Structure 1
């Protein structure tokens, strides 16, 4: 397996190859496009569920960058498939995670009424920290949602619609595909359930305008890691 990431020049190029599959994609970064960055600290004495294993403070700096226009090519069993009119979501992170952590992450990108809409939503790993990673992007302009949103979904029925609500948001993801992965290796373990689907509902931007997000596509996930 060989992967390469080159950032700059108005975009991010992603190149990779494994047997039977290869890709060469560019996630453009239009002029003026904004992304959300947040630093999330954990307190060793009060966050027992996610406490640090060492005296070194735990934190995570993350940048979630949604609604990036994407194009390129996929090669599957020798056949070339162009990628056009697509969207990329980039996740940049640095920091020191606790040994045990659980999170929700959701995102979506698309066009509604002629405007480019991006959704970025997160939960669990930020709870009680004073920080959130919720944001709305409209035509590249970001509105930060500082409240902790309520997530409603059913781990016994992952394909049931997911609801994410708050004073500034009322959103539903209706899944059409589930991706599940898990690893159990003694002290290291992980479990991911990721649902791809179509968003409906609305979010209020920083000016108070109610923005319709109906019809954009994206995902929502529930992840547990022990690492």
Structure 2
């Protein structure tokens, strides 16, 4: 279990063998979600080495079912049909300054997870395709091409076995500047297109997947 509270916001995460429960509370907001772990569901765990005494272990768990409710401004919204959850677990020690890209998308029976920049040159990647819950690891480093002056233009993500285009429809910006500590994230939600090669060499099209692609710059 994990709990955090501050600035009028409280978040509670309970992890059990059968799934995860996520609850959050803030002024005019209540979120209560159940995120079951289907039998046979696979996820990608990667150790990224930066040196003999510094590493980051990350698990990106894409395409989990989710159901529950969101109460916002007194209006209740059901979370369920058509929704999916992505869980991001990490352990380790980050460098003071780091930049990463991360994209995740899902449709029934198909998910994709793509990353870059922060793993470049380490020999590790966090890229994978999931077909009917089974993991197909992608070992290639990827090139991310996007317009930092217009985040809503199409993004291109490419490398050996990866030919992906991402078309955003919404941008979420998060910024914090506290002197030596700072953060800026541009997270764009949108639709995926293109194709990714599975472990058996066949190409799998991503048309119809919905999710996000982001750039994050951190000093911490």
Aligned mates of 2:167, 2:150 — CA distance in 1: 12
Aligned residues: 211
Residue 94 of structure 1 aligns to a residue whose secondary structure is: strand
- 1:217 corresponds to 2:177: no
Matched, 1:13 2:10: no
Indicate which of 95, 100, 108 corresponds to 1:98. Answer: 95
- State the alpha-carbon separation in 1 of the partners of residues 36 and 161 from structure 2: 29
TM-score if structure 1 supplies the norm length?
0.90
**How far has the Cα of 1:78 moved from its partner?**
2.1
Q: Are positions 1:152 and 2:149 aligned together? A: no
Task: Find runs of 4+ consecutive structure 1 residues off by over 4 angstroms.
Answer: none
* Structure 1 residues not aligned, in runs of 5+: 44-55
1:123 matches 2:116: yes
Name the residue aligned to 2:6: none
TM-score under structure 2 length normalisation: 0.93
Tell me how far 1:213 sits from its aligned partner: 1.2
SS in 1 for 2:140: coil
Is 1:31 paired with 2:39? yes
Residue 79 of structure 1 and its aligned partner are, at CA, apart by: 2.1
Distance (whole Å) between structure 1 residues aligned to residue 37 and residue 110 of structure 2: 14
> Of 110, 121, 127, which residue of structure 1 is paired with 2:107?
110
In the TM superposition, what is the alpha-carbon distance from 1:26 to its structure 2 partner? 1.3
Q: How far does residue 191 in structure 1 lie from its aligned partner after superposition? A: 0.7
Structure 2 unpaired stretches of 5+: 1-8
Secondary structure in 1 matching 2:148: coil
**Alignment partner of 2:197 out of 181, 201, 204:** 204
Q: State the distance in 2 between where 1:79 and 1:149 align.
A: 42
